[in-house]
C-alpha cells in the first residue's frame, strides 16, 4: 500500500489526474488509509465536474470523468466521514462543496462551529474563513500556506489560488 500512497500523490502533483484518481480509488478500498485520500479524491472529482474553465478544460479531462466526478465527489466524502466521523476536513469540504456548487448557505459562524465540533488541529477551513476577514484570519492563512507549501496537489493549488 505504501507504494500506491506515494504514487497517488506523485500523480496528483504531476497533474496526471486520471492516474491519481485511479490510485486514490484503490487506496480508499484498503483498511487504514488516512482521510487525506478521501479528500484528495473527492476534490479531483469535484474539480472535474465543477471547475470547467479552471480545471477540466486546461487539464483535458474527458467527458466521462466530468460526469463521474459529479456523481462521485459527495459519495467519496460520505465514505470518508463514515470511516472518520470526527475529521474536520472531511466535514468542511462537504459543506464547502455544497456551498460553492449548489449555493447552500455556509456562513463564517457555521465554519467556525466545525472547529468547536471537530477540533482545531486542521487549518484547511481557514482558506474559506480568510474570505470573510483577510486581516482577522491572516495568521491562520499564513500557517495554512506553510503547511501546504511544497505539496502541490490539485487541492493545495486550489487553496493557494484563493489566498
119-163 per-position pLDDT tens digit? 988 999 999 999 998 899 999 999 999 999 989 999 999 999 999
Domain boundaries, the chain: 2-162
3-28 per-position pLDDT tens digit? 888 999 999 999 999 999 999 999 99
Find out whether 89 and 83 touch, Cβ atoms under 8 Å.
Answer: no
Find out whether 58 and 96 touch, Cβ atoms under 8 Å.
Answer: no
How many Å apart are CA 99 and CA 45, to the nearest integer? 16
Find out whether 67 and 45 touch, Cβ atoms under 8 Å.
Answer: no
CA 119 to chain centre: 18
Neighbours of 150 (CB within 10 A): 8
pLDDT of residue 1: 62
90-123 per-position pLDDT tens digit? 999 999 999 999 999 999 999 999 999 999 889 9
Mean pLDDT over each residue of the chain, to the nearest integer: 96
pTM of the model as a whole: 0.95
Q: Determine the topology of domain 2-162 in CATH.
A: 1.25.40
Amino acid at each position: 500500500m505504501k507504494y500506491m500512497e506515494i504514487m497517488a500523490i506523485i500523480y496528483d502533483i504531476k497533474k496526471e489526474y486520471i492516474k491519481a484518481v485511479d490510485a486514490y480509488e484503490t487506496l480508499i478500498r484498503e483498511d487504514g488509509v488516512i482521510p487525506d485520500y478521501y479528500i484528495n479524491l473527492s476534490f479531483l472529482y469535484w474539480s472535474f465536474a465543477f471547475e470547467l474553465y479552471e480545471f477540466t478544460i486546461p487539464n483535458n479531462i474527458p467527458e466521462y470523468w466530468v460526469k463521474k466526478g459529479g456523481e462521485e465527489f459527495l459519495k467519496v466524502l460520505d465514505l470518508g466521514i463514515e470511516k472518520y466521523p470526527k475529521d474536520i476536513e472531511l466535514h468542511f469540504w462537504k459543506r464547502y462543496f455544497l456551498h460553492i456548487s449548489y449555493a447552500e448557505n455556509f456562513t463564517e459562524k457555521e465554519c467556525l462551529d466545525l472547529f468547536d465540533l471537530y477540533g482545531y488541529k486542521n487549518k484547511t477551513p481557514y482558506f474559506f474563513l480568510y474570505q470573510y476577514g483577510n486581516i482577522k484570519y491572516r495568521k491562520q492563512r499564513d500557517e495554512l500556506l506553510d503547511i501546504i507549501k511544497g505539496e502541490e496537489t490539485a487541492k493545495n493549488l486550489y487553496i493557494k489560488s484563493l489566498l
